[in-house]
Structure 1
Amino acid sequence: MKVLFLNPQGNFDKNDSHLTEHPDFGGQLIYVKEVSKELANLNVSVDIVTRQIIDPNWPEFSKKLDYFDTTQNPTIVRIPFGGEKFLNKELLWPHLKEYVGNILAFYQNQKIDFVTTHYADGGYSGVLLKSKLGVNFSFTGHSLGAQKMDKLNVSHENFEDLDKEYHFSQRIMAERLSMKYASKIIVSTSMERYEQYSHPLYADVSEVENDSKYKVIPPGVNTEIFNDDLTDLDQETVAQIEKKLNKQQKPFIILSSRLDLKKNHISVVKAYANSKDLQDKANLGIFLRGIPDPFTDIHKLSENERSILTPILEEIEKADIKDKVYFFDLKSQLALATAYKFFSKLKSVFVLPSFYEPFGLAPIEAGACGLAVIATKNGGPSEIFSDGSGVLIDPEDIQDIVEGLIKGLNNYDYFSKKVKKRVLENYTWKSTARGYLEVIEGGVKLPKKTIEKVPSLDAKEIIIDFLKNKKI
């Protein structure tokens, strides 16, 4: 059985190049990689179909075909479209018809049994492919444009300016079409289904009350990497950390998300800076990628990342806590997992203070390595940790963050044991892949129907009408 994963943005290679260094190289890529690998282990022939990039700044993605390992399943298929240079995901929209046209040419003599699509651009590509071949597809949104609009406080007055930057007109229409024509919408939690897909911008196409339209499949943890067993393979990263710590043995509060405004690092830094109790109990550890010392290397980051990191550094200096805050340069998933394991031996806690988190893969990875978990109450974590295996916090309440961190540190043994059990019983990529296989096998049995005419990729009128009638 041949299954395609459509993922036009970002890219893939065996070294996880640029992962978390760029907004297009976030958790979605880990998700696609891990699910595809586990599906391959279930004897499904899997191709991840992404973009060929021939750009000296992105040399890892120039080969037409690539692989994660010697099994050559999954295969990474890089389709040329939109020119040769790297393009941010917001700039791919005009080129997706070319992407699908070149997919059709590449697979012209092969049978495609099913397609799984990821993010809005992948979903729209699935719609275009269905319009030509009739092949059924699933849609995994990962995050949706309507929620981003709400978080950015998009209004009728500022919509035109924000649309130029974020391309909401294209994204919302791509999502609407994906929801309408997908044989199955895959969500990480039931909360995601009922809260996100019921948004007024989707309500007429998302069929949120139709159980046959949705399947809840939680993401998982690669337990071969994320576990609490330090081995010889971890020694290089351990040595790097120990050198920086210089024999200091206090627990740590760990922040490891990429630098993104919605991840809300600053609130944890403020909580720590304003709590003598926290400072006495633990140090603060912030994981970065590519810059060992942000105080001297910040110029190496993008303008957006600098705008997030600068207030953090200012807060640290203002509170005079530079001796209690450590920055770690971790360049891969393996190094990240090693750091989690190392800090779990110091009875440390992991914190995810996002304003909203659709699921929350990072906290279950950290939990699998033995860290106690403190996470935002907004979104997926409230479902994941509904059994009390993690501490839920209000990301906009500094005092609540302080109290949550203290609770995790004071009760480390309890939370560490409980979250490890929770992850191993409920959140592995093997179980995620089995969920996908059920969707695939169901989709293959459905009749193939082409789409007569795909509407233009423009939801501007729909959005403006929504904004005009929106209750403030």
Structure 2
Amino acid sequence: MGLRLLHLHLHGLFRSHDLELGRDADTGGQALYVLELVRGLAARSEIEQVEVVTRLIHDRRVSTDYANPIEDIAPGAKIIRLPFGPRRYLRKELFWPYLDDLADQTVSHLQQQEHLPDWIHAHYADAGYVGALVSRRLGVPLVFTGHSLGREKLRRLLGVGGDHEQIEQTYAIGQRIDAEEFTLAHCSLVITSTRQEIDHQYARYGRFVPEQAEVVPPGVDSIRFHPLQSSSETDVVDGLLAPFLRKPSLPPLLAISRAVRRKNIPFLVEAYGRSPVLRQRHNLVLVLGCRDDPRQLEKQQREVFQQVFDLVDRYDLYGRVAYPKQHRRDQIPAIYRWAALHRGLFVNPALTEPFGLTLLEAAACGLPMVATDDGGPRDILARCDNGLLVDVTDLEALQDVMEQAGSDADQWRLWSDNGIVAVSRHFSWDAHVCHYLALMKQRLELSQPRIWATDKECLGSPLGQSLLLLDLDSSLEEPEAEGLASLREGLESIGSGDAHGLGVLTGRSVQAAKKRYAELNLPSPRVWISRAGTEIHYGLEDQSDRFWQAHIDVDWRRQAVVSALADLKDHLTLQDDQEQGPHKVSYLLKEHGEAILPLVRQRLRQRSQAARPHLRCHWFLDVVPLRASRSEAIRYLSLRWGLPLEQILVVASQQGDAELVRGLTASVVLAEHDPCLEGLRHQQRVFFANNPHLFGLLDGLNHYRFFLKS
């Protein structure tokens, strides 16, 4: 049997043909890279199947192609579109509340297949988060490519005067960085395009292990990108740019990118406008994606275009600057060749550039470059020797380097020839795919993934066909007598058959939980998830689930966690011994609130601890293994015993319960709930009860028609 691969690429508009590159900030080079990589992999004899999971979109503003659940890319390769969040198209910064839902759906999708994939390759932080969850639940190795990283983006945006609060509001940068740390803690291999990413960008992450990273430069499609020009395509480009340029034969400074701040296009326009030499010697050609009605563009795109228009007006650049409204993707190679025919330069002024595939495309067409000295262009120049690099945050430096690069015709010819030869030698797709597959076979454990249901067939499921999980520490802590009686009557009416089960969630030890639960005179639970999700017991058994214990024990060092947080004694104090556990360190905050959480996470990352903090009821902080939580314990039970998540109902009311509400489980939020849960009303499977306490739970059971007699 051949290899089976799963790629996760979630944002933007992704399909097998006519990629809408440059349409918005989310549809760029990453989408093209994933598509070309998947095509290259599918063509290999050792590959049986490649799937790309992306988002299903129903939105009249975009093509109906993105509403097709399945789309073939090539023989052996297809796109799987799964719905998560609203039906409409969303920018990637709005994905975060819905990614747990996608992780549950992806696990369900993979369980329906005869064989699990040999590895998962996640692209960007959003897919990395989903991939990490799927990987640890199914035991499939995870490969991660960040494409661009949140810490580097934040550094660059702050470096050009950005406001931290505004950056957070626009880019959800904190969640993105946390997701990247989470992904790096779970992945077996990180693939980068350049050595600089490993040494300077990923190195700023506490969870990053340099030995788990490899450089695999992406490839260039030599069929499309080559230096051989035709008169017909030259005429097409002339027609595209003629309305803008008085002297179209001048060597162009060509920039091709999306209209987003990171690409720094207004800075390029200003450098050009300030230089009499550049204005006299060159035209400036900006291919910034397609636009029809500017009012339909995203705010960031509108702002970038408006800055460009204002600068053209300020420096009176009419007749010297071209910015066509429309172009087709198949015209891009012709635009590169047209610029090379006129002895122009390709300019990439991006603030951050993880690789710079457009630089290779330009080089393959014989067009030299002036590029940012950040990231990938350094590696490209080292191989290609086809231009100059510059600090693009320095306006005078950018201006001087462009003037220098365009001043020597002999140097231009040498750069042009160097680029063509180097791309053919070092950056072909065949070379990329060969290197990629060799690394996977060498670095990843391709053994049979872990199957949780080890002894299911022998023992049978202890959970039943549906499972109600009650929180002993909140909804049952001080229950009103009438509500408790109604709940007792409802549960007892179900009978003692095997169809339905009752479970308990608690931060207590199982012994303390059983003692407290006995006072309620409710039916006996079939499962106990205790000590904040770090222990699972079945029925009356005293022995905890050994498979779950082994799973969460990976890289867990309890005493090292205590030591890592010892210097925070002014903010938190250890709780009594009875509140502690082998896989749980419990603290009491000296001041309530979530302000301490970033500091705790930082300490744990700095000490390389595979642990995560969980704050409950604003005062109680549990630090547990990275793989453990109440939510993950529930998903373990679902996988091990074959119980669909849709047949599990959980109750939420307190701060810290948000993890229980996200995903495919049914959930009830009681009327008297913490305000922080209000933001979860948009979740797909959540019911907000109108009645308080246990009466709200009964409303939820009725809403879901849960526990109806079989």
**Smaller-chain TM-score range?**
0.7 to 0.9
Give the unaligned 5+ runs of structure 2.
453-547, 557-593, 607-710
For residues 178 and 354 of structure 1, the distance between their equivalents in structure 2, rounded to whole angstroms, comes to 26
For residues 337 and 184 of structure 2, the distance between their equivalents in structure 1, rounded to whole angstroms, comes to 40
Which of 574, 595, 598 lines up with 1:462 in the alignment? Answer: 598
**Contact preservation (8 Å) 2:246, 2:320:** no
**Equivalent residue, structure 2, for 1:402:** 399
Which of 12, 15, 25 lines up with 1:13 in the alignment? Answer: 15
**Equivalent residue, structure 2, for 1:445:** 446
1:270-321 deviations in Å (ceiling 9; x for gaps): 22112221122111111132248xxxx6445332112112222222112222
Change (3 A) 1:348 1:73: farther
Kindly tell me the number of residue pairs found equivalent between the two proteins.
452
For residues 331 and 27 of structure 2, the distance between their equivalents in structure 1, rounded to whole angstroms, comes to 17
**Contact preservation (8 Å) 1:19, 1:332:** no
The alpha carbon displacement at 1:364 in A equals 1.1
The alpha carbon displacement at 1:353 in A equals 0.9
**Map of 1:407-418 to 2, 5 A cutoff?**
407-409=404-406, 410=408, 411-418=411-418
**Map of 1:182-261 to 2, 5 A cutoff?**
182-199=187-204, 202-203=205-206, 205-208=207-210, 210=211, 213-231=212-230, 234=233, 237-238=236-237, 240-241=239-240, 243-244=242-243, 248-261=248-261
1:13-66 deviations in Å (ceiling 9; x for gaps): 233343211111121111111111111111322111111111111223000111
**Contact preservation (8 Å) 1:389, 1:422:** no
**Contact preservation (8 Å) 1:100, 1:128:** yes
For residues 192 and 399 of structure 1, the distance between their equivalents in structure 2, rounded to whole angstroms, comes to 27
For residues 239 and 152 of structure 1, the distance between their equivalents in structure 2, rounded to whole angstroms, comes to 36
For residues 52 and 182 of structure 2, the distance between their equivalents in structure 1, rounded to whole angstroms, comes to 22
What secondary structure, in the 3-state scheme, does the structure 2 residue paired with 1:375 have? Answer: strand
1:225-251 deviations in Å (ceiling 9; x for gaps): 111123488478436336545883111
Does residue 99 of the first structure (1) align with residue 95 of the second (2)?
A: no
For 1:253, give the aligned amino acid.
L
**Contact preservation (8 Å) 1:373, 1:419:** no
The alpha carbon displacement at 1:446 in A equals 5.3
**Contact preservation (8 Å) 2:152, 2:352:** no
For residues 61 and 252 of structure 2, the distance between their equivalents in structure 1, rounded to whole angstroms, comes to 35
**Equivalent residue, structure 1, for 2:67:** 62
For residues 197 and 361 of structure 2, the distance between their equivalents in structure 1, rounded to whole angstroms, comes to 20
For residues 465 and 81 of structure 1, the distance between their equivalents in structure 2, rounded to whole angstroms, comes to 28
For 1:438, give the aligned amino acid.
A
The alpha carbon displacement at 1:83 in A equals 3.4
For residues 460 and 440 of structure 1, the distance between their equivalents in structure 2, rounded to whole angstroms, comes to 40
**Equivalent residue, structure 2, for 1:138:** 143
**Equivalent residue, structure 2, for 1:284:** 284
For residues 109 and 191 of structure 1, the distance between their equivalents in structure 2, rounded to whole angstroms, comes to 39
The alpha carbon displacement at 1:160 in A equals 6.0
Which of 75, 79, 86 lines up with 1:83 in the alignment? Answer: 86
**Map of 1:347-358 to 2, 5 A cutoff?**
347-358=343-354
For residues 596 and 60 of structure 2, the distance between their equivalents in structure 1, rounded to whole angstroms, comes to 36
1:208-238 deviations in Å (ceiling 9; x for gaps): 2x2xx11111122111111112348847843
For residues 99 and 459 of structure 1, the distance between their equivalents in structure 2, rounded to whole angstroms, comes to 29
1:401-424 deviations in Å (ceiling 9; x for gaps): 223223332332121111222222
Give the unaligned 5+ runs of structure 1.
none
What secondary structure, in the 3-state scheme, does the structure 2 residue paired with 1:185 have? Answer: strand
**Equivalent residue, structure 2, for 1:419:** 419
For 1:127, give the aligned amino acid.
A
The alpha carbon displacement at 1:328 in A equals 2.5
* Greater relative contact order, per chain length (Cα 8 Å cut-off, separation 6+): 1
**Equivalent residue, structure 2, for 1:123:** 128
**Equivalent residue, structure 1, for 2:515:** none
What secondary structure, in the 3-state scheme, does the structure 2 residue paired with 1:85 have? Answer: coil
For residues 321 and 97 of structure 1, the distance between their equivalents in structure 2, rounded to whole angstroms, comes to 49
**Equivalent residue, structure 2, for 1:42:** 44
**Equivalent residue, structure 2, for 1:51:** 55
For residues 367 and 127 of structure 1, the distance between their equivalents in structure 2, rounded to whole angstroms, comes to 36
Change (3 A) 1:232 1:67: farther
Does residue 340 of the first structure (1) align with residue 476 of the second (2)?
A: no
**Contact preservation (8 Å) 1:170, 1:459:** no
What secondary structure, in the 3-state scheme, does the structure 1 residue paired with 2:51 have? Answer: strand
**Map of 1:289-300 to 2, 5 A cutoff?**
289-291=289-291, 298-300=294-296
Structure with higher helix content: 1
Which of 100, 108, 113 lines up with 1:109 in the alignment? Answer: 113
Change (3 A) 1:462 1:257: same
For residues 92 and 598 of structure 2, the distance between their equivalents in structure 1, rounded to whole angstroms, comes to 22
Change (3 A) 1:380 1:242: closer
Change (3 A) 1:438 1:73: same
What secondary structure, in the 3-state scheme, does the structure 2 residue paired with 1:153 have? Answer: helix
Change (3 A) 1:298 1:10: closer
Deviating more after overlay: 253-262 vs 161-170:
161-170
For residues 291 and 164 of structure 1, the distance between their equivalents in structure 2, rounded to whole angstroms, comes to 25
Change (3 A) 1:150 1:77: same
For 2:196, give the aligned amino acid.
M
Change (3 A) 1:16 1:460: farther
Change (3 A) 1:460 1:389: farther
**Contact preservation (8 Å) 1:169, 1:459:** no
For residues 152 and 465 of structure 1, the distance between their equivalents in structure 2, rounded to whole angstroms, comes to 23
The alpha carbon displacement at 1:430 in A equals 2.1
For residues 162 and 396 of structure 1, the distance between their equivalents in structure 2, rounded to whole angstroms, comes to 18
For residues 12 and 300 of structure 1, the distance between their equivalents in structure 2, rounded to whole angstroms, comes to 20
Deviating more after overlay: 244-253 vs 102-111:
244-253
For residues 84 and 299 of structure 1, the distance between their equivalents in structure 2, rounded to whole angstroms, comes to 22
Change (3 A) 1:232 1:33: farther
**Map of 1:240-389 to 2, 5 A cutoff?**
240-241=239-240, 243-244=242-243, 248-291=248-291, 298-386=294-382, 388-389=385-386
1:343-371 deviations in Å (ceiling 9; x for gaps): 21111111001122121111111111111
Change (3 A) 1:334 1:459: farther
For 1:27, give the aligned amino acid.
G
> What is the TM-score of this pair, normalised by structure 2?
0.59
**Equivalent residue, structure 1, for 2:703:** none
What secondary structure, in the 3-state scheme, does the structure 2 residue paired with 1:253 have? Answer: strand
The alpha carbon displacement at 1:169 in A equals 3.6
> What is the TM-score of this pair, normalised by structure 1?
0.87
Deviating more after overlay: 307-316 vs 117-126:
307-316
The alpha carbon displacement at 1:439 in A equals 3.0
Change (3 A) 1:420 1:124: same
Change (3 A) 1:31 1:74: same
**Contact preservation (8 Å) 1:52, 1:78:** yes
For residues 298 and 284 of structure 1, the distance between their equivalents in structure 2, rounded to whole angstroms, comes to 21
**Contact preservation (8 Å) 1:227, 1:369:** yes
For 1:369, give the aligned amino acid.
C
What secondary structure, in the 3-state scheme, does the structure 1 residue paired with 2:259 have? Answer: coil
**Contact preservation (8 Å) 2:348, 2:370:** yes
